[in-house]
Each structure stands twice: as C-alpha cells, then as structure tokens.
Copies of this chain bind each other. A is one copy, B any other.
Amino acid sequence: MKIRVNEQFALLEENYLFSETGHRTRAYQAAHPEKKVLRLGIGDVTLPLAPCVAEAMRKAVDEMGVKETFRGYSPEYGYDFLREKLAARYRRFGVRLPAEEIYVSDGAKSDVGSIVDILGENEVLLPDPVYPVYRDSNLMCGRRVRFLPAGRENDFLPMPEGLLREPYVIYLCSPNNPTGAAYSRAQLRAWVDFALESGSLIVFDAAYEAFVEGDFPHSIYEIPGAEACAVEIGSFSKTAGFTGVRCAWAVFPEALESRGVGLGALWRRRQATRFNGVGYIVQRGAEAALSEAGERQCMEAVAYYKRNVRLLSQVLVERGIYHTGGLHSPYLWFACPEGERSWEFFDRLLATVQVVGTPGAGFGKRGEGYFRLTGFSDRASIEEAAERLKTVL
C-alpha cells in the first residue's frame, strides 16, 4: 500500500520490559527445572472475585439469557445503578460528585489512552519513573513529553517547584505505579494550587487508592479546587480483582473547562463515537463490589495484599535499605545494593534465590538502580520470598 501510517509510532521505543523479564525467567526455569521460582513481578491480582461479585454476575448472566430481562446496548456512559454507587463511594471521602460526571469504561488503561484524543498540543509532564502508558499514548500522537525527575531527593514524589507558570498536562499517579509512593494531602494541595495558577490540567490516576491509609487522600477531589483542574481515573482492577473482568471509570467534573470548552462535553462526544459502553454483566459485578458486603469482601483482599507487601518491606527495614511503597500500595520499590544496576540485580536475584521482580530501569531512566516487587501473590510464596531476600540483601 501507499497510504500514510502514523509516523510517530516509529519514534516509540519497543517496550520489552515484561516480555524480557518473562523471557529470562522462562530460560532460567528451563535450565533449572528443580528450582521453585517465586514470581513477584507483574502487577496482577491473584485472589478470586469476591463471592457477592460472582453471585451478582451469575444473576446478570441469567437475566441476559431470558428474553424478558435481556439487555442490549448499555447506556454509553454507564448504567445509572453503577454511576450512582460510585458517586456514593466518593461521598465517603467527603467528595460530592453528581453521578453524571462519572463515566464508566472498560479500563483505566483505556481511559488514560483515550484522554489524549480530546486534548490538543500541550507540553505533557510525566514523572520518571513512570507507568509507560502515559508516555507512549502521548508520544503516539506527537505530544511533547517532559519528565519530572523522581528519586531519593523527593522520595519519588516530584513536586511543582521550579516549573514555569505555564499550562501543562500533568499526569500524577498516587499511590504510584511503579514506586508505591503516595502523595500527602499537603502535597496534592500544592499540585492543585499549581494547576489552578498555571491553567494546567492534572490527569490523576487513582487506580490504587484502595490501598491508602490514614489521612492520605483517596481522590484528588478531596482537595478543594481540583474539580476545576483535574480529571480522575479510578478502577476496579486492583480493588475488586477486576483485571480480567474490565471495569473502570473517569471523572470529568462540569467545572472543568479550558478556554470556554467543557472537557466533559468533549469526553462524552469522544466516548459516544469511539466506545460503546461496558457490558451489563460486568457493570452488575462492579455494582456488587460497591455494596456493603462487596466492599467488605474486596477490602479483605486488599488487606491481604497489603500484609504481603509489608512482610517484604520488613526485610528492607531490617536491612536499612532505602525504599518507597510497602504502605498505601501493593508495590515495594527499593534501591538495589550499592552500585548494582536494575537488570544485574534482576539476574542475580533470579539466579541466587529464584525471586522474580521488575527492574526499575524498565520504567524510565530515573528507575535505574531500583527494583520493584509486588504483594500480589499468595502468603506462603511471599513468606518464602521474604526469607530468601534476607540471604541476598
């Protein structure tokens, strides 16, 4: 053919991170079939759906199998029953959002990617290290991307100090993937103030909010003024174990406008044109996850993962190793032993104690020399991994 393709794709680096860790792990296992490899690399849940969620989905399947209760196309932005439950959930954080400002989708990754469609040319600010989707979705459509260095100097929580008061699109993820670091209320306050002063938009990824503790914000809308400068993306993936079910939401407050154009209106037009809603069965499952029983059952799973990651982080505390996460997060992010690079440490950990993690360098330049482990595993594997880590750290 002679048509033009999107030339920006040629500028993307291939993201080999998880294929490379998988490849090295399989090669090791093939060479050492007698060794028990413990996989704490991928950020995917391991516990089953909560009983009341499965029950609600079973019931919804039954409804879909009978003419009288069958449902065709879902409402484009989600069923009211789910949007209202989400609005009620926000009220528990003191956030009052009308249900119509909450847009149900098939995943936080889809929403993060789709946001670029409604924006124009702006300078995009991303933390480094970063969840690669923020970077690649912007590079794919030719946006200028600038990195905010994260590191030990700011505990992997970059702040707006030093930025010109210009309008940016700023991606924040708290609790953070991959570092597990969570912004305090005062820190988010500073970001919202900066965005309001500079006319910037914050894209706030709250996919891990269920893991926060104490006074740390669950939602950026806990900060007054955020409704005029921030989009928020939430997800059932890590909270309700929906990575293989697919349900998330984006919040576009009506107060969110730039140069007279409402972002909510753009989002509605985008979604109505390029998306066709989330299936009924999935939305009934999500609704159940927000019921009283559902929240209790889901929070048990979250507590299980948190206990897991605490068991791992205790090893680092004992050894006096610098780390973030382990609290407010299913992730633990730590400095590799003196002078060791991320991939060297990956290989050594695999070869000596058969623990698989994720090299920090895979998330950006500033991730070099760091390493990520997750609490998404069963307790016995975590306890064994903790014991093994003690022998090499």
Q: Interface on A for B, CB 8 Å cutoff?
A: 1-7, 9-10, 12, 15, 42, 44-49, 51, 53-54, 57-58, 61-62, 64-67, 70-74, 106-107, 109-110, 112-114, 117-122, 132-133, 136-137, 140-141, 167-169, 195, 198-201, 228-229, 241, 243-246, 256-259, 261, 263, 266, 269-270, 272-282
Interchain CA distance A2-B106 in the complex, whole Å: 29
Interchain CA distance A74-B243 in the complex, whole Å: 8
Contacting pair B2 A199 (CB below 8 A): yes
Interchain CA distance A110-B74 in the complex, whole Å: 14
Contacting pair A200 B3 (CB below 8 A): yes
Contacting pair A110 B275 (CB below 8 A): yes
The residue from B4, B10, B278 contacting A121, defined by CB atoms under 8 A apart: B4
What are 6 A-B interface contacts by the 8 Å CB criterion? Answer: A1-B167, A1-B257, A1-B259, A4-B258, A48-B64, A71-B244
A121: which B residues are within 8 A, CB to CB?
4
- Considering the complex, give the chain B residue whose CB is closest to the CB of A67: B48
A46: which B residues are within 8 A, CB to CB?
67, 70, 72
Contacting pair B258 A6 (CB below 8 A): no
Shortest CB distance A379–B (Å): 12
Contacting pair B47 A70 (CB below 8 A): yes
A195: which B residues are within 8 A, CB to CB?
1
The residue from B62, B66, B113, B257 contacting A274, defined by CB atoms under 8 A apart: B113
Contacting pair B114 A274 (CB below 8 A): yes
Interchain CA distance A66-B58 in the complex, whole Å: 14
Q: A3-B199, A48-B70, A281-B282 provided; 18 other pairs, C-beta below 8 A?
A: A1-B167, A1-B201, A3-B119, A3-B168, A3-B201, A3-B258, A5-B258, A6-B119, A9-B118, A48-B66, A49-B61, A49-B64, A53-B65, A54-B62, A54-B64, A57-B61, A73-B243, A106-B276
Interchain CA distance A261-B12 in the complex, whole Å: 14
Contacting pair A273 B133 (CB below 8 A): yes
Interchain CA distance A73-B22 in the complex, whole Å: 15
Interchain CA distance A66-B266 in the complex, whole Å: 41
Contacting pair A278 B5 (CB below 8 A): no
Interchain CA distance A169-B121 in the complex, whole Å: 25
Shortest CB distance A24–B (Å): 20
Contact A5 B106, CB 8 Å, known A64-B49, A278-B246:
no
- Considering the complex, give the chain B residue whose CB is closest to the CB of A47: B67
Contacting pair B281 A57 (CB below 8 A): yes
Contacting pair B167 A119 (CB below 8 A): no
Q: Tell me which of A3, A6, A245 has the highest count of chain B C-beta atoms within 10 A of its own C-beta.
A: A3
Contacting pair B277 A246 (CB below 8 A): yes
The residue from B53, B106, B167, B274 contacting A246, defined by CB atoms under 8 A apart: B106
Q: Tell me which of A107, A117, A119, A273 has the highest count of chain B C-beta atoms within 10 A of its own C-beta.
A: A273
Interchain CA distance A136-B268 in the complex, whole Å: 13
